[in-house]
Chains A and B, each alone.
Chain A
Amino acid sequence: MKNNKHVISFFLSFYRRLSIPWWLYLIAFGSGVVYAEVGMRVSEYLVRVNKGELYNSVILGYVFFTIFNALLGFLRPLVEEYANQKVILRVRFSMWRKILHLPMDQFGKEQPSSLVSAVTNDVTQATLVISGIFSGAASLFGFVRACMILYQYNSPLAAYLLLCIPVAVAMFIIVGKLQFTIMKKRYAALNEMTTFFSEHLSAGKYVKAQVMEEKELESGYAAIDSRYKADVYYAFMEQIQVLTNSLYSLLTTVVMAVGGSRLINAGKMEATGINMFSTYMTQVNLYMAELLTVWQNVMGSKGALVHVGDILDMEEEHTEKGNSWTESENRDIVFKNVNFGYGSEKEILHDFSVCIPGGKTTAVIGDNGSGKSTVMKLIQGFYQPDSGEIWVGGNKISETSPRECHKKFGYVLQNNPLMSGTIRDNILYGTEGETPEKEMKKAAGEARADSFIDALPNGYDTTLGEAGNRLSSGQKQRIAIARALIAKPDYLILDEAGASLDHDTYMKIYHGIRKKMEGNTIVFIAHDMREIAEADYLVVMHHGRLEACGTHEEVFAVSRTYQEYLQSTEAS
């Protein structure tokens, strides 16, 4: 029982967060009670029809109550659906608000796909408990009513039948457990096959280049066969479930047929009594099944709701909170003894201190995995250091409002996501209000994106969906660069922004960017020595530490990494 208490307190605290359309649920409950009452009437007339009492009054009575019953059978779920969907919509709204405001370190703790499925799938379980309480109460009413009618009609037979109910409950529990195992296995097999094909169907070229068609055929067949085996298993297990479930109905049938016939023979029940019992037993079983299903749903929904609840409880980033950005003469980016690691993973930056001069162009260089990209994220306040301080232009990043901070930066990565929508939407993504056409085209020109966009039949209004296949990764990159430039950032961060572009094009864009950003700060990561050569200032990183910083000459004198880089690119 302790466990149950826990469940109840969990659900109480979960629902306290939401506003629930109680009156809709109450209407649903009310119509559920009327529905049960009308259902009894329908049964009454059905019994009479099956007794051969085919009078006009019986026919009309049956017709009237069936239609009335069906109307309620339509209205009741409709009202319930309104209520449920309203609750789901509200939960979705608050979850979505939460997710958008998660700080990056919190966000990193969850797989994005798990957050997505929480909003799309898990949330649908949110109403099961509430609606279950109301519809369960209505079902209980119907169950009790049908039992009473049977008891009044013939108490010994009714008593025998009701004795079978524990069997039904036991069977239900067994089947429920079985179902869980079966579905888990089935889902795993389905998942395995889908994973295989999603991985291999996108690798056609690779398979051909390695001439591995035959092996592919085999492993594909193996994936298909394991799915087939799961299907066969399911075919049998499903019927074992059905048979287990039907044990109860078989038992009641036997009791009814054998017990009923004895009673009739003994003259203790009228000749058509079995008809009467069979009809009302159908009702009893129906309501019992409803009750058990509600119970199962409520118990089953906890897992999904825990996930939803966890997300709603996550810490939020207050984008407006913190000091506003103050402009000052000093525009340097300063790291003071920064230590940092993502979550519980190993530390990436160790006691990292550096001063990146404002108003200049700085290249950050180092091997893969030396922590360059992490530094870029920390500068912009996406993550907070575990210890140490980061200052940008005299503002301490951890104490500045994230919104204001992000506005100061432009950020271009190696592969930048574009949002669905038109090219125009994407370029103007970071702008507020109306932006003149001229300004957009200027930014596109600076990113060398104008000529290919103009060549598209719909120009800037081409949607990325339709152009998805036509735009190369380099073209998408140029759109992303235009998007960053149009926001006129004070600080521009380029993290291997040129890697997907051919050198020639990128150098032209790079020169354009430098001209546009003249007097402002650029920090970039690159592996191309020519790009690096044009930087005013260098920062060399090695295994999460600062190896050297300064001008080319200063760095060349002390940094082994830089010396090696120069050697390997110049000696051919």
Chain B
Amino acid sequence: MERVFGKDRGSMGRFFRMLQKARLPYLWILAYIAITALLTNVGISVTEYTAELFAGNVNFGTVVLPFLTFTLLSQLISSVSKIMSNLCVARIDRNIRKMIWSKTVRLPLRYYEKNKPKEMISRITTDITAISQLIMQVFVSILTSAYTLVITLGKIGSYDQKLMIALIAVLPLNLVIAFVMGKMKFGVLDLVNQKNAELTQTIAEKTNNLLLIKSYGKEEKELQTGQEKMKGFYKSSILNAWLGFATPMYALVGAMQFIVIVMVGRSFYSSGALTLTQWIAYYGFAVNIVNQLSAYCVYWTTFKGSQGATRRVAQIMEEMEEDIENGEHVEHLCGDIELREIDFSYGDKLLFDKLNLKIPAGRVTALIGPSGSGKTTLLNLVERMYPVSGGKILFGGEDTARYSLKSFRSEISYVTQESTLFAGTIRDNILFGIKREVTDEEMEQACTDAEIMDFIREQPEGFLADVGEQGEKLSGGQKQRIAFARALLKQSDYLFMDEATAAMDIRGKDQVWKSVKRHMEGKTVLMVAHDRQTVQKADYIIVMHNGRIICQGEPAEVYAKNTYYRELIGSEGQGR
């Protein structure tokens, strides 16, 4: 069993610990096992009556009728057992998915940044199916296969012990070959998948960037690149087809087994110890057992390959969670924001080293500095998106560490750099995260202030217009306006804006800033910006460079002291 989980020794324990948390549908699995056992017994009767028919014993009442009954019964039970198996898989999948999703939602921001969304998606959509299949097709199958083996061998043993032993003797040969072939098949399929992925990736990348290709006149070169990938896929497909040589291999092994089985059976048959009916039944059982065990070996090898998926899922369950409920409930945040002796690093790169900073309440503060100087990280830290390695973040002199994240974050409106929208209506998106009742007038007012109301009026469905997946139907500027309307509706005393108006045109920015001034009168605004028009709106400036505060104060003060700010803002009237 250790092998399923590869070199990573602790992973088996980790896997079973995860299964414990997942609440497997044990009753369903037990029911499935019971039905499968029943099916095995009915199957034996079918084989026995078939043998009678083949041997020419055609009495209607004692043979034909039971044969038909058992055949029908076997068909029905087999369907029920398949349904049960599929239901078990569906339940396991659902339970594990829910477990992972509830974990994922509670993971800290750092996890989201470290892992690509694509990988996280495949964890919850495809990786977990490896687990249900591992349980049903490997763990549970080991029980059902073993049961079938024992029952069938017992039946043969009831004809003659030596027949049973002969059959047991030939089985390993099949197992070995099924195992080897399964492994090869897996390797080649892996190659085919990889080549297919490469092909898709190349074609998708180039197709999406056709404009670029045309702009540089690289059609011929990209034609070649694509054709190479296509040839690569062709070769791997052909290699896969060659794996068909398993068919004659199996036939060879099957033939050898056939010879052994027939040789052994023949001596009994010719001596009269075995009737014709028993011989046919014996032969039928032998074929069944060999087939079933070979299939099992193929599953086994396939799932050895899916250990990666299993491990990834188990790993996610061991990540540290962010507990948003833990801590004191904060009713109302107020006062200056103060960072005291903050240490923070990204991986092994130290970004903030004993950083001290005070952001005055009731003003519009701009955080400026070249890219990579730590502006967004600072906003994230104040919002307590990351845990700090050292130091304190205070609001109005109170250490925020004791507040629960849930209540704390609810007190701040944060318009992030990526203006995220979810599929749904404009209304859904504007009200996302607003926990109070909002009247239609209020919503319209917020949209007017965010300069998006005209656009909404133009939509035939108005607020109920669909924004498309990730808001793809809207332009960057429109998305930012919706994000801003949402921030206004949140009505908090602190507004953080991370390049929140970067995609708007000059007129739009101006309107939106007028609304900010009006709504946030006497409240605290903290923004990251790098265009002059936006920075001009601030009445307090903080200049950052490489994780340090190099200058802060009133605009005039900073203008006198700091070249970065001076160059950014330019001298008045230079606009013409």
**Residue positions of A touching B, CB distance < 8 A:** 49-52, 54, 59, 62-63, 66-67, 69-71, 73-74, 77-78, 81-82, 85-86, 88-89, 92-93, 96-97, 99-102, 104, 107, 112-113, 115-116, 119-120, 190, 193-195, 197-213, 216-217, 220-221, 224-225, 227-228, 231-232, 234-236, 238-239, 242-243, 246, 250, 253-254, 257-258, 260-261, 264-265, 270-275, 278, 319, 366-369, 380, 382, 402-403, 406-407, 409, 411, 416-417, 419-420, 429-430, 472, 474, 487, 499, 501-505, 507, 527-530, 533, 552, 556, 561, 564-566, 568-570, 572
A201-B117, A204-B111 given. 7 additional CB < 8 A pairs?
A54-B269, A82-B241, A203-B422, A209-B416, A246-B75, A503-B530, A568-B509
Is B251 a contact of A529 with CB atoms below 8 Å?
Answer: no
Interface hits, B236-279 → A, CB 8 Å = 237-238, 240-242, 244-248, 250-252, 254-255, 258-259, 262-263, 265-266, 269-270, 276, 279
Q: Known contacts being A112-B207, A224-B94, A430-B216, is A67 close to B252, with CB within 8 Å?
A: yes
Q: Known contacts being A231-B89, A239-B79, A503-B568, is A419 close to B209, with CB within 8 Å?
A: yes
Q: Known contacts being A120-B196, A246-B75, A278-B54, is A528 close to B531, with CB within 8 Å?
A: yes
Is B576 a contact of A552 with CB atoms below 8 Å?
Answer: yes
Q: Known contacts being A227-B94, A228-B91, A231-B93, is A417 close to B60, with CB within 8 Å?
A: no
Q: Mark B85-98, 1 if CB is under 8 A from A, else 0.
A: 01101110110011
B residues within 8 A CB of A107?
210
Is B54 a contact of A211 with CB atoms below 8 Å?
Answer: no
The residue that A274 contacts in the complex, of B53, B433, B509, with Cβ under 8 A, is B53
Is A556 a contact of B210 with CB atoms below 8 Å?
Answer: no
Interface hits, B77-133 → A, CB 8 Å = 79-80, 82-83, 86-87, 89-91, 93-94, 97-98, 101-102, 104-107, 109, 111-112, 117-118, 120-121, 124-125
Interface hits, B181-205 → A, CB 8 Å = 196, 199-201, 203-205
The residue that B68 contacts in the complex, of A52, A100, A253, with Cβ under 8 A, is A253
Is B219 a contact of A217 with CB atoms below 8 Å?
Answer: no
Is A112 a contact of B208 with CB atoms below 8 Å?
Answer: yes
A residues within 8 A CB of B537?
572
A residues within 8 A CB of B383?
209
Is A199 a contact of B470 with CB atoms below 8 Å?
Answer: yes
What's the minimum C-beta distance from A503 to chain B, rounded to whole angstroms?
Answer: 5
A residues within 8 A CB of B573?
570
Give CA–CA (A199, B125) in the complex, Å. 13
Is A77 a contact of B244 with CB atoms below 8 Å?
Answer: yes
Interface hits, B552-576 → A, CB 8 Å = 564, 567-568, 570, 572-576
Q: Known contacts being A199-B422, A274-B54, A569-B575, is A235 close to B86, with CB within 8 Å?
A: yes
Is B86 a contact of A234 with CB atoms below 8 Å?
Answer: yes
Is B64 a contact of A73 with CB atoms below 8 Å?
Answer: no
Answer yes or no: B7 CB below 8 A from chain A CBs.
no
What's the minimum C-beta distance from B381 to chain A, rounded to whole angstroms?
Answer: 13
What's the minimum C-beta distance from A401 to chain B, rounded to whole angstroms?
Answer: 10
Give CA–CA (A430, B221) in the complex, Å. 11
Is B207 a contact of A243 with CB atoms below 8 Å?
Answer: no
Give CA–CA (A403, B269) in the complex, Å. 84
Is B79 a contact of A403 with CB atoms below 8 Å?
Answer: no
Q: Mark B406-420, 1 if CB is under 8 A from A, else 0.
A: 100110101010101
What's the minimum C-beta distance from A276 to chain B, rounded to whole angstroms?
Answer: 9
Q: Known contacts being A74-B248, A253-B68, A274-B58, is A89 close to B90, with CB within 8 Å?
A: no
What's the minimum C-beta distance from A441 to chain B, rounded to whole angstroms?
Answer: 20
The 7 closest A-B CB pairs, nearest first, are A271-B56, A210-B433, A70-B251, A235-B86, A261-B58, A204-B112, A231-B90
Answer yes or no: B370 CB below 8 A from chain A CBs.
yes
What's the minimum C-beta distance from B460 to chain A, rounded to whole angstroms?
Answer: 14
Instruction: Supply 11 A–B pairs (Cβ within 8 Å), ascending by A.
Output: A204-B111, A208-B109, A213-B105, A246-B75, A260-B53, A275-B280, A367-B506, A368-B477, A502-B530, A527-B506, A569-B533
What's the minimum C-beta distance from A386 to chain B, rounded to whole angstroms?
Answer: 20
Is B87 a contact of A235 with CB atoms below 8 Å?
Answer: yes
Is B574 a contact of A533 with CB atoms below 8 Å?
Answer: yes
Interface hits, B440-488 → A, CB 8 Å = 469-470, 475, 477
Interface residue count on the B side (C-beta < 8 Å): 148
What's the minimum C-beta distance from A433 to chain B, rounded to whole angstroms?
Answer: 12
Answer yes or no: B350 CB below 8 A from chain A CBs.
no
Q: Counting chain B CB atoms within 10 Å of each CB, which of A104, A197, A270 scores highest? A: A197
Q: Known contacts being A565-B507, A570-B572, is A71 close to B248, with CB within 8 Å?
A: yes
Is A212 a contact of B433 with CB atoms below 8 Å?
Answer: yes
Answer yes or no: B423 CB below 8 A from chain A CBs.
yes
Interface hits, B387-429 → A, CB 8 Å = 405-406, 409-410, 412, 414, 416, 418, 420, 422-423
Answer yes or no: B161 CB below 8 A from chain A CBs.
no
A residues within 8 A CB of B259?
59, 63
The residue that A502 contacts in the complex, of B83, B209, B231, B370, with Cβ under 8 A, is B370
A residues within 8 A CB of B509?
527, 568
B residues within 8 A CB of A474?
371
Answer yes or no: B341 CB below 8 A from chain A CBs.
no
A residues within 8 A CB of B124?
197, 201
| Among listed B35-43, B222-230, B296-304, interface-contacting one | B222-230
Is B206 a contact of A100 with CB atoms below 8 Å?
Answer: yes
Is A382 a contact of B420 with CB atoms below 8 Å?
Answer: no
Give CA–CA (A565, B506) in the complex, Å. 6
A residues within 8 A CB of B255?
62-63, 66-67
B residues within 8 A CB of A261?
53, 58-60, 63-64
What's the minimum C-beta distance from A94 to chain B, rounded to whole angstroms?
Answer: 11
The residue that B242 contacts in the complex, of A78, A88, A213, with Cβ under 8 A, is A78
Answer yes or no: B71 CB below 8 A from chain A CBs.
yes
Q: Known contacts being A208-B109, A265-B58, A529-B575, is A49 close to B432, with CB within 8 Å?
A: no
Is A92 a contact of B230 with CB atoms below 8 Å?
Answer: yes
What's the minimum C-beta distance from A327 to chain B, rounded to whole angstroms?
Answer: 18
Is A527 a contact of B572 with CB atoms below 8 Å?
Answer: no
B residues within 8 A CB of A120?
196, 199-200, 203
Give CA–CA (A502, B376) in the complex, Å. 13
Q: Counting chain B CB atoms within 10 Å of each CB, which of A115, A201, A487 scores highest? A: A201
Is A85 a contact of B214 with CB atoms below 8 Å?
Answer: no
What's the minimum C-beta distance from B133 to chain A, rounded to whole angstroms?
Answer: 13
What's the minimum C-beta distance from A203 to chain B, rounded to whole angstroms?
Answer: 5
What's the minimum C-beta distance from A479 to chain B, rounded to whole angstroms?
Answer: 13
